[in-house]
Structure 1
Amino acid sequence: MTAHLPTDYEARFNAVVRHMPGLVYQFVVEADGAVRFPYLSEGCEALLGVPAAVLEAEPRRFLALILPQDRPAYLESMQASAAALTPWNWEGRIWIDAFKDVKWINLRSTPRALAAPAGAVQWEGIMTNISAGKQAQREVSDSRAALAELTAHIEAVKEQERTRIAREIHDDLGGNLTAIKMAIAMLARRLPPDQPQLLDKTNYVDSLVDRTIEAVHRISLDLRPPMLDFGIVAAFEWQVKEFEKQVGIACHFATNETDIALSPDHAIALFRIFQEALTNIAKHAGASRVDIALARDGDALSLRITDNGGGIAAADRRKPGSFGLRSMSERARALGGTMTLSRAPGGGTMVAIKIELSPPAP
């Protein structure tokens, strides 16, 4: 690489190269596929565990350093760069025999066609050690996976606790309130007829018990809708009717199945995603209509919730307080699926959930 340079320029060039991290190199592929390294900087042995002189004498040795599972991508990227004369950027793993260790490297280089020998391509670039960066990526990925697992566990525990509380509210409070109402009715029949004010007070207490029973029923439904026991389709149909009644937004629900068999965990997670999506529409969309489509196609389940509101801006998705969207996304991910947000045809927003289901047992 430096043979044609003036001595003073060569000295300055070598000084710069010595202080560069990694390995500066020239690499040539001949028309017949033969390879050679016309130049390798002093960083060769530190990076690859092979002295520059050895690699220059045995250029095929570099390919042998690359782990077998990473070689196809290396060769493919090299051939693509040579064919189009576009920059070559590849990263992969090599085995350093001197250290008995695997190292991640990245090579970046620029190709040019050589006039002689005809058909040859030469790259000039730099190889660097990116093992530390890859380790950091793995740690971040492992941390995210652990956090997602913890989040899924917390959600499962929350649902179990909701189910327990809903059952206790329904059985204990509901039963006690029913007994109180019966006792009030018995007392009302025994009140003296000449004291109508007592009957008024009794009727007031009776209406108060009725309102409390309604509140207990509503709270129990919010904690764990019993309609889920009849299947996800029935639960969705119930939620659509409740949403229309409470919010006043017209809803249209369509499905290609009368029921879709889901595990209890999958069913409640999908139902919570649906509830959160409707809550977001009621709070933020300004919509007058919502269309819901639930479908199963083989082992894939899809849910699309489309409104005709004002749409959601990209900045809104990144707001620090957008916990509803994050919760929906995390729940979908915990189910092994994905959630996407997009602009609906004609305006508004479409939430699309896709989940891979286990095939039914034979």
Structure 2
Amino acid sequence: MNAPAPGQFDPEVERKVAARTADLAELLGHLTTCWDDERRDLARKLHDSLGSSMTALTMHLALLTQQLPADKTLQNRTAQMKTLLMNIINTNREMQITIWNDKLEFLGVKAALSELVHEFGKLHPITARISLPDEDAAYPRDQGVALLRACEEGLRNVLAHAHATGVDVVLDDNDEEIMLTVRDNGIGSADYDRKASDCHGLRLLRARAGYLGGRLTVTALPGGGTALAIILPRQPECPPSLISAA
């Protein structure tokens, strides 16, 4: 076989590189799906096991308190125990939501995104707004997770780097595409695309979008600010065998 001329690429090498790249992209997509499944299972175990146990302990403590003599020291001690149990219950709930947002499972993408944005606005000195479609479309779970992760990553970047006073999250869809945009009014930058390539969170999100047949963009806006957008096909293009059942 003749060697390729200088400046030309060997078609066989290009084919192998393309096939290897596709294999790695599929593997990464499959790993993220497995990771999501493990996170969901862990959150459910925290809810079903630890959560129910803490609730039962609270009920037992309440019954025990009713049987105790009217001693101020004992009453104060039981009050402290109740406070500790409530703190554990609240911490457990926060851990569950951090690991896996159950609103995505039971109430859909719109409810999960709305809660995420509103909580962000309450916790940080940044005005957070969200715009959602009127219709509550049913997205496959893989797409719902990707949209939620994109929103989380976008809000994290706004908080860490943008120096913004406001952020808008917009979810749009039509017959062909679903697009979620996280847009802030911060400092912006001329090299956000390079930074997006260097950021592991964004790289993983970009790989997740590509696995679902979509794309991720991070761009500086005219006049300042940044827009992170994830665009997914209305019908996911990833192999059905690798999409977990909802």
Same fold by TM (over 0.5)? yes
CA, structure 1 residues 313+208, in 2 after alignment: closer, same or farther (shift >3 Å)? farther
Distance 2:166 2:57 in 1: 42
Distance 2:171 2:195 in 1: 27
The partner residue of 1:227 within 103, 109, 115 is: 103
For the Cα contact (< 8 Å) 1:306–1:351, is it kept in 2?
A: yes
Match of 1:144 in 2: 21
Matches within 5 A, 1:63-74: none
Distance 1:226 1:206 in 2: 26
Match of 2:134 in 1: 257
Secondary structure of residue in 1 paired with 2:213 = coil
TM-superposed deviation, 1:156: 0.6
Match of 2:213 in 1: 336
Distance 1:304 1:264 in 2: 19
Distance 1:212 1:330 in 2: 36
Matched, 1:133 2:10: yes
Match of 2:241 in 1: none
Secondary structure of residue in 2 paired with 1:311 = coil
Match of 2:75 in 1: 199
For the Cα contact (< 8 Å) 1:233–1:258, is it kept in 2?
A: no
Match of 1:299 in 2: 176
Amino acid aligned to 2:185: N
Distance 1:236 1:315 in 2: 24
For the Cα contact (< 8 Å) 2:214–2:233, is it kept in 1?
A: yes
For the Cα contact (< 8 Å) 1:280–1:324, is it kept in 2?
A: no
Distance 2:72 2:180 in 1: 58
Matched, 1:172 2:59: no
Residue-by-residue CA offset, 1:248-267 (whole Å, 9 max, x unaligned): 31112113333122111111
Say which structure is richer in strand. 1
Match of 2:91 in 1: 215
Distance 2:131 2:101 in 1: 20
TM-superposed deviation, 1:320: 8.0
Residue-by-residue CA offset, 1:32-75 (whole Å, 9 max, x unaligned): xxxxxxxxxxxxxx96xxxxxxxxxxxxxxxxxxxxxxxxxxxx
TM-score, scaled to structure 2: 0.87
Match of 1:51 in 2: none
Amino acid aligned to 2:96: S
Give the aligned length: 235
TM-superposed deviation, 1:154: 0.9
TM-superposed deviation, 1:159: 0.8
TM-superposed deviation, 1:134: 2.7
Q: Which has the higher contact order (CA 8 A, sep 6+)?
A: 2
CA, structure 1 residues 134+318, in 2 after alignment: closer, same or farther (shift >3 Å)? farther
Amino acid aligned to 2:166: R
Amino acid aligned to 2:168: D
Q: CA RMSD in A?
A: 2.3
Distance 1:206 1:313 in 2: 53
Amino acid aligned to 2:234: L
The partner residue of 1:182 within 42, 51, 59 is: 59
Amino acid aligned to 1:224: W
The structure with the largest alpha-carbon Rg is: 1
Amino acid aligned to 1:240: V
Residue-by-residue CA offset, 1:201-248 (whole Å, 9 max, x unaligned): 111111010011001111111222121122212221111111111223
Matched, 1:284 2:161: yes
Secondary structure of residue in 1 paired with 2:222 = coil
Identity of aligned residues (%): 32
Match of 2:230 in 1: 353
TM-superposed deviation, 1:319: 7.8
Distance 2:14 2:195 in 1: 22
Residue-by-residue CA offset, 1:77-98 (whole Å, 9 max, x unaligned): xxxxxxxxxxxxxxxxxxxxxx
Unaligned runs of 5+ in 1: 1-45, 48-102, 106-127
CA, structure 1 residues 307+315, in 2 after alignment: closer, same or farther (shift >3 Å)? closer
Distance 1:248 1:227 in 2: 25
Residue-by-residue CA offset, 1:112-159 (whole Å, 9 max, x unaligned): xxxxxxxxxxxxxxxx38886332222222222111111111111111
Match of 1:92 in 2: none
Secondary structure of residue in 2 paired with 1:358 = coil
For the Cα contact (< 8 Å) 1:311–1:348, is it kept in 2?
A: yes
CA, structure 1 residues 180+231, in 2 after alignment: closer, same or farther (shift >3 Å)? same
Match of 2:37 in 1: 160
Distance 1:213 1:243 in 2: 21
Amino acid aligned to 1:137: E
